[in-house]
Structure 1
Amino acid sequence: MTLRVNGKVVTPTGVIRQGCVEIDGDRVTAVAEYPSARDGHWILPGFVDMHTHGGGGHTFTTGDADSARQAAGFHLRHGTTTLLASLVSAPFEQLRAATVAYAPLVDEQVLAGIHFEGPYLSGERCGAQNPEYLRDPSTEELAELIELGAGAVRMVTLAPEREGALAAISLLTGHRVVAAIGHTDATYEQTRTAVAAGASVGTHLFNGMRPIHHRDPGPVTALLEAPHVVCELIPDGVHLHDATLTFATSVAGPERTALVTDAMAAAGMPDGSYELGGQAVTVVDGTARLAGAGAGAGAIAGSTLTMAGALRHAVAAGLPMVDVARMVATTPARAIGLGDRVGALQAGLRADLVVLDDNLDVVRVMRAGAWVD
């Protein structure tokens, strides 16, 4: 039986004001004008979050499968139909255990894969990452994680200036795992070398990176100008000034910009005390920062954002709805190798969609042709 969802349908190329998405089973079969449909709710592709650490009081960072399932469910109810479970820097044994725990969730399609944000990061730009666990890239560790995951490991963020980084990038790309550049103090030249070696994502651009200087352009400039690199941006008004958000998207364009949440367990929860990778975090007015009085105290510790909130913030900042829809779905899906399955309202792709009202609040969510409770 064919199901039709009518409204203002947002496609990668424009908005069909009186449109219809036709669905058969778990697939989109057609997207077309439907003149008899009223100019109703916004219909967008299901959001794709390639960088999130948790939400709804649950976390991905501990490697607990039940917590991961709950965190994925929280984000699904807010429109994210595809996500990577992002871990933080930790001892290898913990990363190994998380890979084993999450691989079945990837097989079940609860998760689209695992993202290791660390531990191969810069001590100078570690942000809320625990500096105790930072180290040079190990191809032996990565090879074991990739084998254990049997396809579950989809992205690894590393700092290209660390010894062994280029060999790690070569190993990752050789196994079709995305190599991302982040938490880095790399020079412009070191970043370009990593991109030439196969790195294809810039992890939360600007944040955890050597800043731009007119005589030292650093990694941000190298990533923005690289024609095949997708740049993550966190549009919460805390990680980036809105002018920085709109500037970066104007340079990279919607085809190379992926909006991400970088959310932690506190997303969707009240202000208070939380943890991220074993470190205490305090959330005040929705902003998460490392607690305590140590060297890293006060560092931004992820966000409390949902992808629906990211979309609303980006639109409020002045970005066009069609571009934002690409940046929350189509571009991140392509960046993590899933563009042939999800990320757009297009015939043949999985029937994932989000219905939004005129305030851009989530009304309904569909995943694989079924409405989510």
Structure 2
Amino acid sequence: MTFGILSLGPEKFIREFSVFLIFLTVILNLFVSKKEYKPKIFIVYLTLFLCITLNFLLTGPGIGDLTALMDKRGIGTWICFGLIFISYNDKRYEFFKKFIIISVLVISALALFNLVDFGSGAYRGQALSKYRVYAVNMMWITPYIFLITKNNPKLIFFRFYALFIGVFLALIIQTRSFLLIYTLVIAFDFFYTKKKTYYTVGILIAAVLFVFILISTPSLSSSLDLLMQRGTNDTRSGQLDVFISQLNFFEVIVGKGYYASYFFNGRYYPFLDNQWLLLIWWAGFIPAMAYFYLTAVIPIKLFFKKNQDYETKVEALILIIWCLACGGLAIYTIMMIDYFFFIICIIQSRLLYKFSKT
């Protein structure tokens, strides 16, 4: 899967080529789609991009460093964010939906193969090293495909298969936040279900079968035990308090730059489980507010609009969950050159297109 660290892995050239194609797609669409989106959306995106480009040029290692260029704080990630201008074409968006279905099949096949070959791992570190990529991508594919195919009777079994795989992988890597998000998705699906009694019975039966599988499978049972041991332990608030204590007003306004880090637990950290604070900190107030407007404000407006159609509600919900995840609801959620970020951008593109037509 495409990832920003281009210097690692034998698939380096495939990654570089795939990112090049995305760049080309974005650049071409900026011209082709100019009549499909409101001018202010282009202005906000270009403001964000120019601010981050300036930030990188002034504080980063330079354009010649490809790994840095494609890093989450590099220019490449925010070029890819330009995918928010590609979903104005109905046929293209329908193709995207089919591609997502294929993605579920491929990722689930890889995950199940690894489970048979490797097991779930003796401890969380092993599970993360083997399944985190699958679990994170499914975390942003499953809710969309599960909800968007709700009214398609031909895909009823597939949508629950996708949900099963998503929850299954979240359990293997023992990630509480992912399980919480899946719970929110099921609650939304329940709200838009007419026959709620049958739905409730079906969920209960599925839950019992799922628990039985967990208990009767040693490797999965160990994952459940480790998850229960983690319980409600708060592993983030202390880090967040230390981070906030080291902020200053000037850094929040203009950004601390590419190499921004803070001292915590005896060493310097460049990361934080709150992408909104992190973006403001290293990039500055203006790009953070620009991203917030495109990613949070517009989806929330569309979600709560009266008489909104179901598909738009689903797309808006995915973006709202993404915003909550960026705020600390879920780990491994970050704006970067990675498959799940592209998925979010394409869904967001459809929302921005619909917003532009209102």
User: TM-score, normalised to structure 2's length?
Assistant: 0.27
Q: Relative contact order (C-alpha < 8 Å, sep 6+): which is higher? A: 2
Higher strand content, 1 or 2: 1
Higher helix content, 1 or 2: 2
User: TM-score, normalised to structure 1's length?
Assistant: 0.26
